[in-house]
Amino acid sequence: MGRRLRRNWLSTVAMAATLASVWLAGVVPARADEDLAEGTILVADRKLKDQNFVQTVVLIVTYDDRGAVGLVLNRQSDIPISELLAGVKDARNRKDTAFSGGPVEPKSVLALLRTHEGPRGAQHVAGEIWAILDQDLLEDALKAHTGSDQLRFYVGYAGWGPGQLETELEAGAWRVIRGSADTVFDAKPDSLWDRVVRNLDVTLAKLLNVGRTPPSARDPLVAP
């Protein structure tokens, strides 16, 4: 699983560009809050119409001149880990389910691990976030009895070809925020998008009000 996936991880980005294309209607372009990079998080705009990504929160795992690869963080499936990794001894007692990471290679299995120092061979994404693309590393993480608050599994992933994600950002499809392990391993993923969007709206409203003088503090009108 892992060795084949490692080879295919970026080779399928070009194909993913057609699967992950986003078409919007009436969206006002906006500048991103953060620069695109590995570890940043995409938050779908309310007007994003693509069913693959509507109301999604996506972690960028790989970003370079060949494109971008990400994992959808807030679409938990009903596939038990014990079933997904049938035959892996230490997966038998897992009670959690996998996440739908995106429309590309839906039969592939990836994992994100939260730890200060990742295992040798894991891909460092940002901060305490590590991506596991190798089956042996995945089995080692399971042997450590790491819970779902620190180890999550994803079937499939999202992908963009060179320049495609940037075009979608310019069209207003996504808002970009700084990534954090708290967001990636949020305890209530089903409501993650709604909470993040509301917080972004509040922050934007505060920024727009900076510099505005409250009516009560304005100079009083002077009678002629």
Q: What is the pLDDT of residues 163-190, one digit of tens each?
A: 999 999 999 999 999 999 999 999 999 9
pLDDT at 114: 96
pLDDT at 213 over 90: no
Which of residues 73 and 11 earns the better pLDDT score?
Answer: 73
Q: At 202, is the pLDDT very low, low, confident or very high (cuts 50, 70, 90)?
A: confident
Least confident of 31-35, 64-68, 81-85, 96-100: 31-35
Which of residues 108 and 3 earns the better pLDDT score?
Answer: 108
CA distances from 52 to 20, 56, 63, 79, 195 (A): 7, 8, 20, 18, 20
CA distances from 138 to 77, 89, 107, 141, 151 (A): 19, 12, 16, 5, 9
**For residue 217, is it within any domain?**
no
pLDDT at 119 over 80: yes
**For residue 218, is it within any domain?**
no
**For residue 203, is it within any domain?**
yes
**For residue 213, is it within any domain?**
no
Which of residues 213 and 26 earns the better pLDDT score?
Answer: 213
Instruction: Return the SS3 of 158.
Output: strand
**For residue 139, is it within any domain?**
yes
What value does the mean pLDDT of the chain take? 82
**For residue 214, is it within any domain?**
no
Task: Specify the DSSP element, H or E, that contains 205.
Answer: helix 192-209
Report which of 185, 189, 196 is spatially closest to residue 33, judged by C-alpha positions: 196
Tell me the pLDDT tens digit for each residue of 8-59: 444 443 343 333 333 333 333 334 446 899 999 999 999 998 999 999 999 9
**For residue 108, is it within any domain?**
yes
Question: What ranges make up the beta strands (E) of the chain?
Answer: 41-44, 57-64, 67-72, 76-80, 97-100, 104-114, 123-126, 129-132, 151-160, 174-177
**For residue 77, is it within any domain?**
yes
pLDDT at 32: 43
**C-alpha span between 133 and 54 (Å, rounded):** 26
- The whole-number average pLDDT for the span 184-206 is 91
For residue 195, report the phi and psi dihedrals to the nearest 5 degrees.
-70, -40
Is beta strand 123-126 parallel, antiparallel or unpaired with respect to 76-80? unpaired
Pair 37, 124: CB distance under 8 Å: no
CATH classification of the domain holding 89: 3.40.1740.10
CA–CA–CA angle 60, 160, 85 (5° rounding): 60
> Domain span at residue 49?
2-207
Pair 49, 23: CB distance under 8 Å: yes
Q: Please count the structural domains in the chain.
A: 1
CA distances from 106 to 72, 100, 148, 151, 164 (A): 12, 8, 21, 19, 21
Which of residues 65 and 210 earns the better pLDDT score?
Answer: 65
Structure-token pair, residue 115: 């730890």
pLDDT at 210: 63
Pair 99, 153: CB distance under 8 Å: yes
- The whole-number average pLDDT for the span 88-100 is 93
